[in-house]
Amino acid sequence: MPTVNLNFASQDFDAHQCQGFRDGDWIIFRCEHCPDYERRMNWRTGAVQSRHAKAEIQHHGFYVPSQYQDLMQNLN
């Protein structure tokens, strides 16, 4: 099952869980604790863009395509 996992966790830094969603070719991660933080990954080209990232905060999260989310719910 394809997923995108973003994890740069370290014990020396605060870690925030991000929510991922898809917008066209971009998978976008946002943080509920850092309203101005955003990390974008283009699944076609591999391009990555970050906005308002702070070195002292490690963000991690994952994205599961909606068709797989439905499948996972049906398995439970």
Mean pLDDT value of segment 12-34: 90
Residue keyed to tokens 């797989």 = 68
Q: Is the pLDDT score of 54 beyond 70? A: yes
**Dist. CA 70–CA 37, nearest whole Å:** 28
pLDDT over 60 at 6, yes or no: no
Residue, of 9 and 14, whose pLDDT is higher: 14
Residue 61's pLDDT is what? 85
Q: Classify 70 as helix, strand or coil.
A: helix
Alpha carbons 15 and 6: distance in angstroms, whole number: 12
**Per-residue pLDDT averaged across 48-52, rounded?**
92
Domain boundaries, the chain: 4-75
